[in-house]
Amino acid sequence: MRQHTLVPENFLGLVLEANFSTVTVFSKLQEATKGLGIAKGSFAVMVRNPHEDEAAEPQWAPPSSLVMSHDFVLLRLLDVLPLPESGTRLGKRCDQLMATEAAGPGLEANHCLMRYAVLGAYVTDELTGAIRFSGDPGSLSVSRKYVVFSPSALILDILTNGVLNPSQRIQLGQLRISETLSSTHLQQEAYLCMLDIRGKRTAIFGKTRLGKSNAVKLVVQGMLDVTQDKQNVGQLIFDVNGEYANDNPQDGNVSIASIYVERCRVYHLSPRGGNQLGRLLRFNFYEQSHMTLAILRELLPTSVSGTEYVQQLFNCRIPALETEPGISDEVFQHRLRKIMMLWTLLDAAGFEHSQEHLATRLTQLGTRFPFNPQFKQPLRMNVYQSILNRPCPSPPNNFKDMATEMKAMARFMLNYSNDPELLINDQPVFDLDEQAMARFLVPKSAAGPFVLRSCVPFHSPIAQDFLVEVLAALADGKTVIIDLGGANEQIVRYFSKTLSTAVFQAQEAKFVSNTLNESFVQIYFEEAHMIFPPNSELATDIYSRFAKEGAKFNIGIAYSTQSPSTVNKDLLAQTENFFVGHLSSPLETKILSQVQNAFQGMEENIMNTRTPGFMQVLTSSHRYPLPIQVTRFTGKSLLVSA
């Protein structure tokens, strides 16, 4: 480790008292303000004074020769204190120090005590010779053997970036000790190593319009930049306000999606005119038959899905639109009739269908007559005569005729339940699930399928399985943006949970099959209070598995919200990286310092600063927060090293 020059101009004072948590420094205020100042929260370094002889009279300042140091203790200013009363132990020590200077009027006013928090020590590793940070100051000698300096430019760079991995860095911003001082006061660049983000948990806190989304955009962009060649990190963004998927004026009319067109896949919940390459986030309820009722249950308002009438429908078990090896033709046809009953119900509710797509799927399954339910002819004759009051036609060969026949069958089953043609070998033609769907399809008094219409916007008759598409894109290292702009909390929760579960299962499968390698997925949650509420049963939730097992499966998450109190504490306790802007309440800062000890003593700083982009940043490489004015996202790459 190189020696770090500490010149007399940076001298702050002599140590009066030192323990493992705080240091009290006797300083000449005029001298202290010449250098980097004594703004609250500013850093200082404590080193041994090689010129101090314990047996000699106390020296006020080191000689003019340079003070050199290999190792140093890092301090952060807590407060400026008045001089102690004369006659006390500290008072006598201060009088003794002032006596070494020429007396003059107003001399006492030029001196003060400064109280510092001990953050730890930078030491040289004996084996590698590299610098490392220790969370304690090591063994301390008598206080008079130490002096305190403002950091030199080299030391400032070390305490800001010295412990970062030299690879995969981006420029995050500039060190900014105080809100009063400009971000260029120190002219010290602050970097972010994307290896600290990859596969780890990151929290972004702060009030609205103070830079949370801006910080997330820099992280997303940084991950894209450092993986330009390897492309081994897929990113999934739940874009609650649509600002990652769509250009907006506050970012100079650019967005992540428009800058990285080739590496982004965008899904919109609602049609957007600005992004022509985006896809609509849609289910195909006809072709995803085995999932349809479960999806509808989640998407419907609870005032609808919670009613007993609708719950009876949701209890039905619908088979998948597929065949199985060894299944008999009779069993397969019965499953297909059950799916056709669901299709009829969806059609009655107003969900658009594609006859061509459905015919293709049925033909691929080996069905010669795609839309023929293959009911026995005697039953069909009874249904058409009693329900439709017309002769029985040829078996259906299109979707419309199939739906007409299935609806008539449902009505006949309910009105003529004792008809012998409804039995085959003393077994009902329609099982209990089909009977429940029939009662929903042709109700006596309730609203029927109409209650499902609020889910129509989430359906497309030609939609592919977007879960498969998203997982494939993430595996290819693409950034997938789910534009949920305008969606309510229920919809946001549903898509977040569905996709999160799919990602976890996919990464877990790779882990089990030993194919995970260096394949990572980063997931970004905005408005995290909707996803990780503090009263949730996180211990059994998919998000808890992210927090506790995500690193094992190469899954990292980043979540942003206004207040730490609105997020589950179990997740907070597992979080390694923090970007903290302005918090207005002592309750919020108390919760923050409880889950992350490094923020203790910084509560007032966090509450008193409101400059947009001014954040206290703690990463897994650092052991203490850094006050950083985060660079504004403009779309320009901030890559420092790949």
User: Under a CB-based contact definition with an 8 Å cutoff, are residues 177 and 42 in contact?
Assistant: yes
Q: pLDDT-based confidence at 5, cuts 50/70/90?
A: low
Q: Convert 473-508 into a string of H (helix), E (strand) and C (coil).
A: HHHCCCEEEEECCCCCHHHHHHHHHHHHHHHHHHHH
- Residue from 430, 216, 428, 402 nearest 338 by CA: 430
- Give the Å distances, CA to CA, from 613 to 172, 177, 582, 589, 591: 11, 13, 9, 18, 22
**How many alpha carbons lie under 13 Å from residue 39 in its C-beta half-sphere?**
16
Exposed/middle/buried for residue 249 (C-beta within 10 Å: 0-12, 13-18, 19+): exposed
Give the integer Cα–Cα distance in Å for 334 and 569: 50
Share of the chain above pLDDT 70, in %: 91
β-bridge partners, 561: 205
For the chain, domain boundaries? 4-161, 192-280+465-625, 289-458
The arithmetic mean of pLDDT across residues 218-229, rounded, is 97
Q: Side chain identity at 370, as an amino acid letter?
A: P
* Contacts of 400 by beta carbon, 8 Å cutoff, 6+ apart: none
Q: Could you read off the pLDDT of 312-361 as tens digits, one per residue? A: 999 999 999 998 888 898 999 999 999 999 999 999 999 999 999 999 99
Place of tokens 């600005």: 274
| Predicted pLDDT of residue 274 | 55
HEC letters along 10-78: HEEEEEEEECCCEEEEEEEHHHHCCCCCCCCCCEEEEEECCCCCCCCCCCCCCCCCCEEECCEEEEEEE
Structure tokens at 247: 């250009």
pLDDT in tens, 559-574: 999 999 988 888 888 8
Residue 74's H or E segment, with its range, is strand 72-81
pLDDT grade, residue 29 (50/70/90)?
low
Q: Is the pLDDT of residue 32 over 80?
A: no
Nearest one of 561, 495, 500 to 527, comparing CA atoms: 561
Name residues whose C-beta falls within 8 Å of residue 338's C-beta, 6 or more positions apart in sequence. Answer: 318, 319, 431, 433, 434, 437
State if pTM tops 0.85: yes
Which SS3 state, helix, strand or coil, does residue 347 take?
A: helix
Classify residue 104 as exposed, middle or buried by CB count within 10 Å of its CB (0-12, 13-18, 19+).
Answer: exposed
User: What are 121's strand-pairing partners?
Assistant: 73, 134
624: how many CB neighbours lie within 10 A of its CB?
18
10-14, 133-137, 173-177, 428-432: least confidently modelled range: 10-14
Beta-carbon neighbour count of residue 347 at 10 Å?
21
Q: How many residues does the chain have?
A: 642
Q: What is residue 423's DSSP assignment?
A: E
Structure tokens at 448: 């029927």
Helix (H, G, I), strand (E, B) or coil at 270: coil
Which helix (H) or strand (E) is 389 found in, with range?
Answer: none
- Indicate whether 534 pLDDT > 90: no
Q: How many CB atoms lie within 10 A of CB 163?
A: 17
In the predicted model, what is the mean pLDDT of residues 56-74?
Answer: 61
25 band by pLDDT with thresholds 50, 70 and 90: very high
Binned at pLDDT 50, 70 and 90, residue 64 comes out as very low
Specify the pLDDT at position 30.
Answer: 55
How far is 126 from 128, CA to CA, in rounded Å? 6
What's the CA gap between 334 and 332, in Å, rounded? 5
Does residue 191 or residue 572 have the better pLDDT? 191
Cβ contact 480:474 at 8 Å: yes
Residue for token pair 């919670």: 306
Q: What per-residue confidence (pLDDT) applies to 152? A: 85
Assess whether pLDDT exceeds 60 at residue 36.
no
Residue-level pLDDT at 62: 58
- Write down the CATH superfamily of domain 192-280+465-625: P-loop containing nucleotide triphosphate hydrolases (3.40.50.300)
331-341 confidence digits (pLDDT tens) = 999 999 999 99
pLDDT of residue 57 exceeding 60: no
Q: What is the pLDDT of residues 367-420, one digit of tens each?
A: 989 999 999 999 999 999 999 999 999 999 999 999 999 999 999 999 999 999
- At residue 622, the pLDDT reads 93
For residue range 611-642, what is the model confidence (pLDDT) as tens digits? 999 999 999 999 999 999 999 999 999 999 87
Compute the C-alpha angle 589/592/598, nearest 5°.
105
Residue 140 pLDDT level (bands cut at 50, 70, 90): confident
The angle at the Cα of 199, spanning 197 to 203, to the nearest 5 degrees, equals 50
State the angle between helix axes of 542-549 and 489-512 in degrees (0 to 180), rounded to the nearest 10: 50
Q: Quick check: 3 pLDDT over 60?
A: no
Decide the pairing of beta strands 479-483 and 233-239: parallel
Main-chain dihedrals φ then ψ at residue 95, nearest 5 degrees? -60, -40
